Each structure stands twice: as structure tokens, then as C-alpha cells.
């Protein structure tokens, strides 16, 4: 466990640079602009640093387009791929009409496997956060407490949410529950996990926008966090609709529960695909950058 590092930015501006702008949201530093001796401006942001994209040179045009398909040496690639597989499993498990051709046991396994991929992706994302800005060659941290960094909260809360989905999908494979057991062991983890995803999605929006919300439709990072927020909303709709009526033992709205899961998974699949585009935006460190 490591502490202390959370009180400062995850980036280290050049020693000869002058900070001309620092943007905070509450205690969280989300953006800093540094002027170098030659007058050029480097823009550091929490998300770019976490993703290993480095500072952006103000006024430099978009980076040369490149397509990222295979990059297993980069943790960000694994985050994208694991979310793609996990979201794909959830989407397949919730396909309309699947229950008429596949057994509940098989569908339950698909959801549980998907939740494991979600948890792996969430933890990989958490690793990105706690190791952001560390010098190359240093041993990678496996856990750290950095409560003054918004990315630590966003990734940590989402990781906790994935664990609740693990419980939800595992328990959903069991049979013979009473209505009360169904509510406690299946529905409650689903509901709590959905809350975690909503909170994490809003924190990710703040990290990108430096406020509760703003429009940046030419920024792929903005599209990622917004699509994921929509997906989190659909997951919450699904969780509410899956509430088990104590008097009958039926779901509040089985169709809406299934539809919400499918649409939420589709959104997270799209967001994961966009992560590959974001990864392609990495830029070489500007001259003089350390």
C-alpha cells in the first residue's frame, strides 16, 4: 500500500517550466498548463496521464492518425480488450429471444464470465491510475491509496462495482431461492453495482470536462465517458426493473430488465472500442520534456 502521492498531480512538469494554469474540481487537480522557456505550452490532464498519452502541445494540431489493433505490451490495450469481451458477453446474454433457445444455466454462465472480464478490465484500469507518472523501470504498484486524485476514485469505484456484479451474476446461477433471498443475494448486488457504475461514470466525466458536464464532441475521451454514462444509466434501469415483487416473486418488468442490460452492454462495448482510438492519440514527449 502506498500513500502520499495522492496529494500531488500524477504528472511531473519540466523543471524549467512555469505553471500558468491549474484547474481543480474540489480537491482534485484535473488540468495544468505549463509554459516552457521557448514560450510553448504543455497541457497536462489527469486522464491523458493515466492513459499514458503524455502532455498535449497547445496549438499543435491533432496527432497523426494511427490505428491500434494489436498492442499487448500496453496496459491501455488490455483495458479496452477486456471491456470489449466483458461487454460482449453481457450483450450476448441479454439478446432478445435468447432465453427461448438457450438454457438459463448457459445464459447465467455467459453473464458470470462477462462479469469476470469486467472485473479484470476494472482492475487493469485501476493499475493505470495508481502507476500514472511513475518513472520507467520502477516496479509497478498493485495497490495504492490516493484519495486526492479523481482518477483513483473513478477507477476504484468502478472496480468495486464490478465486484458487486461478480456476486450478482454468480448468485443468479443458483436456484431454489426464496423471494427474500433473491432480493438480498441477486438483486441487491446488481443495484449496488449499478450505483457504483453511475458514480464512477460521473467522476470520469468530471475528470475529462473539469466540471459536472460540458460538451466536447470533438474529443474521443469525451465520447468514451459519455457513452459509458449512458451505459451505466441503462444498467441502473435494468437493476430497478429486475426488482423482485415480494407478493408474487415476479420481476417488476422482466422485458425492461433484459433490454436495459443489453443496451448498457452495447454502450460499454462502444466505449471500449473507442478506448483503442484514444490509445492511438499518444504523442511523443515534446522536446525538452522529462
The 10s digit of each residue's pLDDT in 169-182 is 999 999 999 999 99
CA 273 to chain centre: 12
Considering the domain architecture, whether residues 121 and 257 belong to the same structural domain is answered as yes
pLDDT for position 5: 41
Q: 275 in a domain, yes or no?
A: yes
Q: 288 in a domain, yes or no?
A: no
pLDDT for position 237: 98
Tens of pLDDT, residue by residue over 171-217, are 999 999 999 999 999 999 999 999 999 999 999 999 999 999 999 98
Considering the domain architecture, whether residues 132 and 246 belong to the same structural domain is answered as yes
Q: 111 in a domain, yes or no?
A: yes
14: Cβ contacts below 8 Å, ≥ 6 apart: 34, 36, 42, 288, 289, 290
Considering the domain architecture, whether residues 104 and 181 belong to the same structural domain is answered as yes
Q: 151 in a domain, yes or no?
A: yes
Alpha-carbon separation of residue 51 from 17, 44, 137, 148, 258 (angstroms): 23, 12, 17, 18, 33
Considering the domain architecture, whether residues 52 and 98 belong to the same structural domain is answered as no
Considering the domain architecture, whether residues 29 and 81 belong to the same structural domain is answered as no
Instruction: Look up the domain containing 126 and give its range.
Output: 75-279
Considering the domain architecture, whether residues 188 and 143 belong to the same structural domain is answered as yes
Considering the domain architecture, whether residues 133 and 176 belong to the same structural domain is answered as yes
Give the chain's domain count: 2
Considering the domain architecture, whether residues 82 and 112 belong to the same structural domain is answered as yes
Q: Is the dihedral of CA 159, 160, 161, 167 positive or negative?
A: positive
Could you give the CA distance from residue 121 to residue 131 in angstroms, rounded to a whole number?
A: 15
pLDDT for position 66: 66
Q: 285 in a domain, yes or no?
A: no
pLDDT for position 284: 47
pLDDT for position 64: 57
Q: 289 in a domain, yes or no?
A: no
pLDDT for position 205: 98
Considering the domain architecture, whether residues 270 and 174 belong to the same structural domain is answered as yes
Could you give the CA distance from residue 27 to residue 172 in angstroms, rounded to a whole number?
A: 40
Considering the domain architecture, whether residues 33 and 161 belong to the same structural domain is answered as no
pLDDT for position 65: 59
Q: 110 in a domain, yes or no?
A: yes
Considering the domain architecture, whether residues 165 and 232 belong to the same structural domain is answered as yes
52: Cβ contacts below 8 Å, ≥ 6 apart: 74, 75, 76, 128, 132, 282
pLDDT for position 142: 97
Q: 240: closest CA among 194, 201, 197, 200? A: 194
pLDDT for position 134: 87
Residues of the chain with pLDDT under 50: 1-7, 284-290
> 203 near 152, Cβ under 8 Å?
no
CA 142 to chain centre: 18
pLDDT for position 62: 61
> 95 near 261, Cβ under 8 Å?
no
Q: 66 in a domain, yes or no?
A: no
- Secondary structure string (H, E, C) spanning 154-203: HHHHHHHHHHHHHHHHHHHCCCCCCHHHHHHHHHHHHHHHHHHHHHHHHH
Considering the domain architecture, whether residues 105 and 210 belong to the same structural domain is answered as yes
The side-by-side arrangement of strands in the sheet containing 41-45 is 18-25, 28-35, 41-45, 56-57
Amino acid at each position: 500500500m502506498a500513500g502520499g502521492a495522492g496529494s500531488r498531480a500524477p504528472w511531473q512538469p519540466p523543471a524549467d517550466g512555469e505553471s500558468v494554469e491549474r484547474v481543480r474540481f474540489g480537491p482534485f487537480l484535473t488540468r495544468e498548463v505549463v509554459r516552457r522557456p521557448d514560450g510553448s505550452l504543455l497541457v497536462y490532464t489527469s486522464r491523458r496521464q493515466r492513459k499514458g498519452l503524455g502532455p498535449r502541445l497547445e496549438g499543435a494540431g491533432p496527432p497523426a492518425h494511427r490505428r491500434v489493433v494489436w498492442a499487448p505490451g500496453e496496459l491501455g490495450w488490455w483495458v479496452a480488450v477486456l471491456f470489449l469481451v466483458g461487454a460482449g458477453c453481457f450483450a450476448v446474454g441479454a439478446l432478445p429471444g435468447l432465453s427461448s433457445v438457450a438454457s438459463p444455466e448457459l445464459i447465467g454462465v455467459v453473464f458470470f464470465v462477462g462479469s469476470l472480464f469486467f472485473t479484470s478490465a476494472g482492475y487493469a484500469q485501476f493499475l493505470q491510475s495508481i502507476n500514472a507518472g511513475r518513472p520507467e523501470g520502477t516496479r509497478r504498484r498493485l495497490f495504492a491509496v490516493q484519495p486526492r486524485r479523481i482518477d483513483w476514485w473513478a477507477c476504484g469505484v468502478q472496480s468495486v462495482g464490478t465486484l458487486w456484479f461478480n456476486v450478482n451474476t454468480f448468485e443468479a446461477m443458483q436456484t431454489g431461492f426464496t423471494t427474500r433471498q433473491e432480493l438480498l443475494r441477486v438483486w441487491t448486488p446488481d443495484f449496488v453495482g449499478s450505483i457504483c457504475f453511475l458514480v464512477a461514470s460521473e467522476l470520469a466525466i468530471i475528470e475529462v470536462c473539469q466540471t459536472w458536464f460540458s460538451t466536447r464532441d470533438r474529443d474521443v475521451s469525451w465520447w468514451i465517458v459519455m457513452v459509458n454514462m449512458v451505459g451505466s444509466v441503462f444498467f441502473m434501469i435494468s437493476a430497478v426493473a429486475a426488482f423482485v415483487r415480494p407478493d408474487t416473486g415476479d420481476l417488476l418488468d422482466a422485458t425492461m430488465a433484459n433490454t436495459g442490460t443489453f443496451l448498457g452492454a452495447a454502450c460499454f462495448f462502444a466505449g471500449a472500442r473507442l478506448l483503442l482510438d484514444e490509445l492511438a492519440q499518444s504523442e511523443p514527449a515534446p522536446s525538452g520534456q522529462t
